[in-house]
Structure 1
């Protein structure tokens, strides 16, 4: 098995998939994994419009469905779930200690755009909690929301649990109560027109393997 494997993956998978990509290349000399990370909805649109890739890993089944419906992928498998958490700058200038604080006047909140899985999942949290949150910015993906928090441009951002963990001391996490929290499932599929289908299937199997599951759980993802 040789050649390039093109993997389109949700931005929230960047750290874990980069690690798995290095493992894959080590286990299969002569292969190279080339990643395109970004908002799942944008990646799905690119795939449907003919962008060449071998594997797609989305941050929501709905997004994957658009690719499957277009005939660009078959048989997706869910490999992980991710819940939401509030990220605030370490000094917490907005004094955000609870979910309800996000609806307080004057608190600057960053969210993902509504069509992106992290935006849709945050909206589900607010609906459960019966909160009306007016963001000052809506970003294209979860990494952009996290960046706004790290730069101190907002008082809080709603991101995934995995993003808070990956950021380390650069942000502080404010947990969302389990009874109002929401999560999104992550499906993966080999694309129908994959230029390198053999390597694509092998990468998919790595993600679904014990090794892949361990790496995902260490990053904060939960089992599907």
Structure 2
């Protein structure tokens, strides 16, 4: 069994294959980036600046970090990957699918979000143990789910899980739509949602920090552009990440 196949089996997820990258219709080179869903708004903004500076097309694909690992393991064509925790990135490193060492891009913490008006009268993390609430969190196999579980353990709270999602944006969507009374998401997702949700402070979250690594992939079709993109994120990208609510690398 090859390392790629072994990693795909270990991830135990089936996802659609990512469309390959190459040249755009206008013959500009295409840089393909796989990234954790919680990075969506920031990377979409930064991609526009990078495209203008380098005369390239940046193709972004977002999802749960475990899904991204499976895509790479199954041979999806991509140049760069950024995950929401080192655990998922380490799967790629151990399989020899990353070129060089990953570098930390940002940090993040969690917060409780509720629909506008807080119909469930949620006052803190402890309320997410209430059986009368529809509580939504990420599944345990993805970084936001692992972070939620660690946070609940740290606070001594048994979460009443009404549903488990494969990405933090799915959790946010259920709260925004009113399908859930409360959810655990990253601070950055609550910021991006604006008036779509209300945030309930979680002091315990300061003890459970997610670290976001980014790496160039071993089979990158655009290795030079991929390294330029990573350098760009660690330079011009840091103020944009901070504005979106992310903490600094090593935070």
Q: TM-score w.r.t. structure 2 length?
A: 0.86
Matches within 5 A, 1:56-205: 56-73=81-98, 74-178=100-204, 181-205=207-231
1:53 paired with 2:101, answer no
1:221 paired with 2:246, answer yes
Offset of 1:181 from its aligned partner? 4.5
Which segments of 5 or more consecutive residues in structure 2 lack a partner in the other structure? 1-27
Q: More relative contact order in 1 or in 2 (CA 8 Å, sep 6+)? A: 1
- Per-residue CA deviation, residues 48-99 of structure 1 (Å, 9 max, x unaligned), is 1211100000000000000111111031001100000001001211110111
Offset of 1:179 from its aligned partner? 6.5
Give the Cα–Cα distance (whole angstroms) in 2 for the partners of residues 216 and 177 of structure 1. 22
Does the 8 Å CA contact 2:97/2:218 hold for their aligned counterparts?
yes
- Per-residue CA deviation, residues 163-192 of structure 1 (Å, 9 max, x unaligned), is 000000010001111476412100000001
Instruction: Give the total of aligned pairs.
Output: 221
Does the 8 Å CA contact 2:137/2:171 hold for their aligned counterparts?
yes
Give the Cα–Cα distance (whole angstroms) in 1 for the partners of residues 123 and 181 of structure 2. 11
Q: Secondary structure at the match of 1:75?
A: strand
Give me the CA root mean square deviation: 1.0
Does the 8 Å CA contact 2:116/2:198 hold for their aligned counterparts?
yes
Give the Cα–Cα distance (whole angstroms) in 1 for the partners of residues 63 and 123 of structure 2. 29
Does the 8 Å CA contact 1:125/1:180 hold for their aligned counterparts?
no
Does the 8 Å CA contact 1:112/1:139 hold for their aligned counterparts?
yes
Instruction: Specify the alignment match of 2:42 in structure 1.
Output: 16
Does the 8 Å CA contact 2:35/2:83 hold for their aligned counterparts?
yes
Query: 4+ residue runs of structure 1 moved beyond 3 angstroms?
Result: 178-181
Give the Cα–Cα distance (whole angstroms) in 1 for the partners of residues 164 and 207 of structure 2. 20
Give the Cα–Cα distance (whole angstroms) in 2 for the partners of residues 180 and 195 of structure 1. 39
Instruction: Specify the alignment match of 1:25 in structure 2.
Output: 51
Q: Secondary structure at the match of 2:230?
A: helix
Give the Cα–Cα distance (whole angstroms) in 2 for the partners of residues 11 and 189 of structure 1. 16
